[in-house]
Amino acid sequence: MKRKQILPAAAVLLSIAAFALLMVRSAANITRLTAATSRTAATAVLIDPGHGGEDGGAVCGEVQEKQINLAVSRDLADLLTLCGYEVELTRDSDNSLSDDGETVRKRKNNDMKARLALYNASADRVVLSIHQNKFNAASSRGAQVFYSPNDGRSAALAERIRFAVTALLQPDNERECKKAGKEIFLLKNAEVPAVLVECGFISNPQERELLLKDAYQKQMALAVAAGFINFDNTDNRK
């Protein structure tokens, strides 16, 4: 499920134009956020749309988290591919990574192990995991980024994405990035720079309505891409 690369120079122009059209922001701010350069994008990116198949993730009414995760992830993959990155998705359809196991719990555990194997398959990749949040209080809203404790670059990546999302989409969002604990299995065991982006709360009626819109999904993908590109051209340079 890899996406083919195109020339980075042309891709940078396309990405800037996309920000201008979809975000209605100034060209100066867009350029600063993406921190685009003419260097070849050598970093490989693994995008992990959370859940899938029989595992719907967080559910609110008829809305299942897995559907939004996949939509945002596909948009993110397309944009980073345009920018010259080698991009791979853990899944590109509504499926689980493992059907092995006699129980739902066993199949889910096997799915997580399969994802982790992809996370750690190469030391030269960065992992972007896409999720949606849910909470009992319907007033809770806003994106939040969790990062792996195992690679120092993960915290920087999370902060770059947090900054881009708040600057471009959620100016009132004051949620801080958080280091993942053992409850986030994939980040706790990732051996490469890895973050989990909770794009918003499907339990919040207003935010759920936004997250279900194709235009907003693309805007969220563009913001995550901006944060990642900024990270790759600054914190991730060798």
- Tens of pLDDT, residues 218-237: 999 999 999 999 999 998 87
Closest among 12, 53, 3 to 35, alpha carbons compared? 12
Q: Tell me the percentage of the chain whose pLDDT exceeds 70.
A: 82
Pairing of strands 144-147, 178-179: parallel
Integer Cα distance of 188 and 120 in angstroms: 12
Integer Cα distance of 15 and 163 in angstroms: 18
Extents of the domains making up the chain = 2-232
Name the superfamily (CATH) of residues 2-232: Zn-dependent exopeptidases (3.40.630.40)
More confident residue, 67 or 20: 67
Please check whether residue 97 is in contact with residue 85, taking contact to mean a CB–CB distance below 8 angstroms: no
Integer Cα distance of 144 and 201 in angstroms: 10
What pLDDT score was predicted for residue 3?
59
Please check whether residue 47 is in contact with residue 88, taking contact to mean a CB–CB distance below 8 angstroms: yes
Retrieve residue 140's tokens.
Answer: 């809770």
* Residues found in the chain: 238
